[in-house]
Amino acid sequence: MGEVTASVRRSGSSAMNESLKTLLTREAKTLGFDCAGVTGPGAIADAAGHFRAFLEAGAHGDMDWLAAHPERRTDPRGLWAGVRSVIMLGVNYGPDQDPLAILQQRSRGAISVYAQGDDYHDLIKKRLKALARWLVATAGGEVKVFVDTAAVMEKPLAQAAGLGWQGKHTNLVSRDFGSWLFLGAIFTTLELPRNDTEADHCGSCQACLDICPTAAFPAPYKLDARRCISYLTIENKGPIPREFRKAIGNRIYGCDDCLAVCPWNKFAQAGRETKLAARDELRAPELAGLARLDDAAFRARFTKSPVKRIGRDRFIRNVLIAIGNANDGALADAAERLLDDESPLVRGAAVWALSQLTPPEAFAARAEMALGAEADDGVRAEWRLTTTAARPSS
């Protein structure tokens, strides 16, 4: 470490910075990052306008944390006045199989690729801290590290740092890794040479827009999160809106459709970090087994997984929507059993699932009995609406 530091500091100012950046990139690769780039805190002025329009349209839904202190998100200097350079890092988590194939196995649940392994936040934050310590020991300055847990616009900053570009689906696309990059950032008071901003290579392609099951993209480069399956199954705390239930299919945590269909994935490669690799039990779990999870079993099943953060009730809600879409009468028992669950959120989803798997007459009879015992107004409304929808027309 001492020899490296001395070598960097003996050089002239400009040469010293270039040498430091080269060494920084090398150290990042040694620590397990797959790509690295540097940009300035003032590089995302255009993104700020797009973000404000997104908020004004209410497209963020219930994600109130996005609207809190937008000035911190739209300019890194709003988060930390002392920042002079932003180092953006990427870790490849490319899948080893087609993420869309599971959608044909309707009795099994589809979990987003990023959530099939260990939670990336912990892994990447440790690497960011290690790289930040190396930077301070080598060149001085102050640092702060961020990985998807603060008001940082990672994707515009990553494009400004040359890691990729924001595609028409608003996610980052890389020429080397396709759609599959976890991002992290190091803010520093050091002045480091900037990378060139990556150009947009989407061209006329709009495969990501066309494949979206819920039409969540009102226009290229614009997302309405309120229609996005990832939002609906993860961030949304209430019942899944009825208009989206059929379109969700068997997606029980997130959605990879717009990522997986991108043509740039032809250059992607499977991730090399074993901790981020998919666990076998999360690749295509059976819906019937998942529906039996109580809180303790849910926590045990999803320990160290991002899925754990939504809690058992929201997860079972998602599983029940998938059960209702499975077109498998054998799953009706799973829905029936959950009509008595302690959670109103679960009971309401069970009502809808059962309605999809039960003849209308039998369901109407079941509803008449249930309404007399159900105390929750929301679940009672679900019974009434679902019974009306299931009733055959005369």
Q: Which residues are catalytic?
A: 148
Beta bridge partners of 89: 36, 184
Beta bridge partners of 86: 39, 187
How many Å is the Cα radius of gyration of the chain? 24
Closest CA to 257 of 234, 228, 284, 282: 228
Q: How far, in Å, CA of 10 to CA of 12, rounded?
A: 7
Residue 284 one-letter amino acid:
A
Q: Cα dihedral sign for 55, 58, 60, 65? A: positive
List C-alpha distances in Å: 196 to 16, 40, 164, 173, 390.
19, 11, 11, 16, 57
Residue 172 one-letter amino acid:
L
- Name the residue with tokens 């090399």: 272
Residues 6+ apart with CB under 8 A from 203: none
Per DSSP, which regions of the chain are E strands? 35-39, 85-92, 110-111, 143-146, 165-166, 172-173, 181-188, 251-253
Residue 60 one-letter amino acid:
H
Beta bridge partners of 183: 90
CB 106 within 8 A of CB 328: yes
CB 79 within 8 A of CB 151: yes
Closest CA to 321 of 230, 224, 214, 233: 233
Is residue 340 exposed (0-12), middle (13-18) or buried (19+ Cβ within 10 Å)? exposed
Q: How far, in Å, CA of 164 to CA of 274, rounded?
A: 24
Q: Cα dihedral sign for 373, 374, 377, 379? A: negative
